[in-house]
Amino acid sequence: MDATILGAAAINGLLLGGSYALVAVGLTLIYGVLHIINFAHGSLLMLAMYGVYFLLTKAHVDPYAALPAMIAAMFAAGYILYRALIGRFSHGRDENILLITLGLSIVLENAALFFFKGDSLNISVAYSDRMIELGPALVPLPKLVSFLASLVLCGALALFIRRTDLGKAIRAVAKERHGARLVGIDVERVFAISYGIGIACLGAAACLLMPSFYVSPTVGHLFVIVAFTIVVLGGMGSFVGALVGALIIGLTESLSGLFLGEALGQIGISAIFILILLFRPTGLFSR
Amino acid sequence: MSRLSPGIVSPLILLGAVLLYPLVFRSNFAVNLGVLVLFLTVLGQSWNIAGGFAGQLSFGHAVFFGVGAYASSILQLKLGAQPWLGLPAAALAGALVGTLIAALSFHAGLRGSYFALITLAFAEAFRILANAVGFTGGGVGLLVPLKPGFASFQLERIGFYYLIAALAAVSVGVAIWLTRSRFGARLAAIRENEDAARALGIDTFREKVKVMALSGALAGAGGCFYAQYFLYIDPSVAFGVDKSVEMLLVAMIGGAGTVYGPLIGAFLLTLIGESTRELTEAQGLSLILYGALLILIIGFLPNGLIDLLRWRRRRA
């Protein structure tokens, strides 16, 4: 195997991992605080990607310029979803939440299919096809931007959780919800806010992904197993774990595609997922 | 409870109705509709046995269906076996994969949502494998050549109807047995509180593996039926998320952990599917309704639509 091909694949894999990171960080935050598995994560990302698509094609808003608006909109969507649906309908049972978020994803995906048809849509902006030379690899500019912005946003989120009062409340609820309630924290509100922040990450991810990706009603499927794998790999609820996990998974996907061919290469992710769940379900980085 | 309890009367009425249906409604369309309802009943009941009765939520139940469909088709097409052999072989393959997945997952102590996730991943792994290796026909899938006749397991429509009716009867029979047997009681104990069940001396690992094997066998047989009825199978039909979700929906909407829930679910889903197809060309409408129904049922009718029919048992 040629070293340049390997190096190029590795760089592409890391960049890919960077764009997975935001999706996975949102998922792991929701898991860490609410202890629920948000099965609707992929379809909410899909929704955000359509949002970015229509903002550009109908209102001529550049995807990167749409970032603050998308973050705010998706936060609101997540907050309302939790308040109106998930928290209310689950009767406090984990399995119910899993099923409700599954139901939600079925509704969203098929609503997208119903209204927008099944075609894959992509956008073209001036910088879509700009290539940057990065060591042995020639990478599209949007992918590099997505990688860097994703890392910055993950860092900002970690700082927010660590430094602010709200972040402190979120950490308190994640650690010990009953205790948090006792000291006067409105736990349900923190749940809704955390869910909102997790979904807001998807708004950001959508803005960063769209210039180099496509959107279709089932695009979320691509990210669901990947995001769950990353989160399980890094340890459910761990930020750093999600970040490192995302890079590992991006690398794995790129390298297994290189070595096993396109069809069989996809098995790398599922195999890691199954093996981690079977042998180390608390993740790689747990003590 | 009166002597003519619904436990005896309703299965007989139902059985009679199922047997008479294709004699009364003879059009191809009507018989085909009946086949679809009963086929979904078998798949839903398979999910229900694991997810409803034993509380082992699976998001990848299509894996058993797919393994059955592929096992019977490969046996017939590549190894030249008698097509009817495919049915027991498919059930066996489903049971084996059920045992394997269950043994691995439960040995690792996976429960609840984690179990749901790993079944999803197994189904995905099987889909990718079926897509990538040669003897499954890869992404193109397997086409069973048309050769009508009893010997080649390609029956008249009505023959298929009675075959799937028999499979559905077996699946409902298994569910009835689970409501009356000690095995079923042990599963209910596991579903309600696994730690307590273990404290009572129930070998929870063994019981859970057994129920997954049973559930896998049913779905596997359903897979063989599908392959013979439609004469075609490919990786995303066999192992796709859509199939897993469909199995779950049938059971959850009708009533998980109940004997007739899957039948009701299958009937309703087929009805919605057909009427939305009449209504609009656009895809997706029926699934929007299924998803919304699932959410509503979890919110308001945790035992499924069958609760609406149980006026007798409702507390005053």
Strand, coil or helix: A122: strand
Amino acid at B32: N
B252 vs chain A: nearest CA distance in angstroms? 9
Q: Phi/psi at B149 (nearest 5 deg)?
A: 145, 155
Q: For B172-225, write each residue's pLDDT tens digit.
A: 999 999 999 999 999 999 999 999 999 999 999 999 999 999 999 999 999 999
- In chain A, which ranges are continuous DSSP H helix? 3-34, 41-59, 67-81, 87-89, 94-116, 141-163, 165-175, 177-182, 187-209, 219-234, 239-265, 267-279
Q: What ipTM was predicted for this assembly?
A: 0.88
Please indicate whether, in this complex, the C-beta atoms of B295 and A100 are within 8 angstroms of each other: yes
Of the candidates A131, A140, A78, A106, the residue with the CA atom closest to the CA atom of residue A218: A106
Please indicate whether, in this complex, the C-beta atoms of B118 and A274 are within 8 angstroms of each other: yes
pLDDT tens-place values along chain B, 316 residues long = 445 555 677 788 889 999 999 999 989 999 999 999 999 999 999 999 999 999 999 999 999 999 999 999 999 998 988 999 999 999 999 999 999 999 999 999 998 888 999 999 999 999 999 998 888 888 888 999 888 888 889 888 899 999 999 999 999 999 999 999 999 999 999 999 999 999 999 999 999 999 999 999 999 999 999 999 999 999 999 999 989 999 999 999 999 999 999 999 999 999 999 888 888 877 889 999 999 999 998 888 877 888 887 755 544 3
How many CB pairs lie under 8 A apart between chains A and B? 133
Distance of CA B155 to the CA centre of its chain: 22
Strand, coil or helix: A215: strand
Please indicate whether, in this complex, the C-beta atoms of B128 and A263 are within 8 angstroms of each other: yes
Q: Which residues of B touch A271 (CB under 8 A)?
A: 125
Q: Which residues of B touch A89 (CB under 8 A)?
A: 295, 298-299
A132 vs chain B: nearest CA distance in angstroms? 33
Query: Out of A98, A270, A279, whose CB is closest to B108?
Result: A279
A231 vs chain B: nearest CA distance in angstroms? 12
Beta bridge partner(s), residue A131: A140
**Closest-approach residue (CA) in chain B for A90:** B299
Query: Out of B108, B291, B299, whose CB is closest to A281?
Result: B108
A114 vs chain B: nearest CA distance in angstroms? 5
For residues B78 and B232, is the Cβ–Cβ distance under 8 A? no
A265 vs chain B: nearest CA distance in angstroms? 9
Q: Are strands A214-215 and A121-122 parallel, antiparallel or unpaired?
A: antiparallel
What does the pLDDT read at residue B313? 53
Query: Out of B112, B118, B291, whose CB is closest to A95?
Result: B112
Q: Phi/psi at B24 (nearest 5 deg)?
A: -90, -50
**Alpha-carbon distance A222 to A23, whole Å?**
12
Q: Which residues of A touch B132 (CB under 8 A)?
A: 261, 263-264, 267
What does the pLDDT read at residue A137? 79
Strand, coil or helix: A256: helix
Please indicate whether, in this complex, the C-beta atoms of A37 and B302 are within 8 angstroms of each other: no
Q: Phi/psi at B147 (nearest 5 deg)?
A: -155, 75
CB-based contacts of B106: which residues, under 8 Å, 6+ apart? B115, B205, B208, B209
What does the pLDDT read at residue A197? 96
Please indicate whether, in this complex, the C-beta atoms of B121 and A277 are within 8 angstroms of each other: yes
Query: Out of A110, A232, A273, whose CB is closest to B287?
Result: A110
Region label for B112, one of left (φ > 0), alpha (ψ between -120 and 50) or beta (otherwise): left
**Alpha-carbon distance A52 to A111, whole Å?**
17
**Alpha-carbon distance B65 to B82, whole Å?**
20
Query: Out of A99, A103, A281, whose CB is closest to B110?
Result: A281
Query: Out of A89, A112, A113, whose CB is closest to B298?
Result: A89
Please indicate whether, in this complex, the C-beta atoms of A264 and B132 are within 8 angstroms of each other: yes
B26 vs chain A: nearest CA distance in angstroms? 34
DSSP string, chain B: --SS-HHHHHHHHHHHHHHHHHHHS-SHHHHHHHHHHHHHHHHHHHHIIIIIIS----S-THHHHHHHHHHHHHHHHTS---GGGHHHHHHHHHHHHHHHHHHHHHHTT--HHHHHHHHHHHHHHHHHHHHHSTTTTGGG-EEPPP--BTTTTB--HHHHHHHHHHHHHHHHHHHHHHHHSHHHHHHHHHHH-HHHHHHTT--HHHHHHHHHHHHHHHHHHHHHHHHHHHSEE-HHHHH-HHHHHHHHHHHHHH-TTSSSHHHHHHHHHHHHHHHHHHH-SSSSHHHHHHHHHHHHHHHH-TT-THHHH-TTTS--
**Alpha-carbon distance A110 to A116, whole Å?**
10
Q: Phi/psi at A281 (nearest 5 deg)?
A: -65, -15
Query: Out of B107, B112, B288, whose CB is closest to A107?
Result: B288
**Alpha-carbon distance B235 to B134, whole Å?**
12
Please indicate whether, in this complex, the C-beta atoms of A106 and B285 are within 8 angstroms of each other: no
What does the pLDDT read at residue B316? 38
pTM metric for this prediction = 0.90
Q: Phi/psi at A121 (nearest 5 deg)?
A: -115, 140
pLDDT tens-place values along chain A, 287 residues long = 678 888 888 898 999 898 899 999 999 999 888 888 899 999 999 999 999 999 999 999 999 999 999 999 999 999 999 999 988 887 777 778 889 999 999 999 999 999 998 889 988 888 877 888 877 778 888 889 999 999 999 999 989 998 999 999 999 998 888 999 999 899 999 999 999 999 999 999 999 999 988 999 999 988 888 998 898 888 877 888 899 999 999 998 888 888 888 778 788 888 888 998 898 877 777 65
Q: Which residues of B touch A110 (CB under 8 A)?
A: 283-285, 287-288, 291
In degrees, rounded to 5, the angle at the alpha carbon of residue B111 between the alpha carbons of residues B108 and B116 is: 105
A270: Cα within 13 Å, side-chain hemisphere? 19
Q: Which residues of A touch B298 (CB under 8 A)?
A: 89-90, 96, 99-100, 103
Q: Which residues of B touch A267 (CB under 8 A)?
A: 125, 128-129, 132
Amino acid at B79: L
Q: Which residues of B touch A44 (CB under 8 A)?
A: none
**Alpha-carbon distance A145 to A209, whole Å?**
10
**Closest-approach residue (CA) in chain B for A97:** B298
For residues B255 and B215, is the Cβ–Cβ distance under 8 A? no
Q: Which residues of B touch A98 (CB under 8 A)?
A: 57, 112-113, 116
Query: Out of B125, B129, B245, whose CB is closest to A106?
Result: B245
A183 vs chain B: nearest CA distance in angstroms? 30
Strand, coil or helix: A66: coil
A126 vs chain B: nearest CA distance in angstroms? 34
For residues A119 and A232, is the Cβ–Cβ distance under 8 A? no
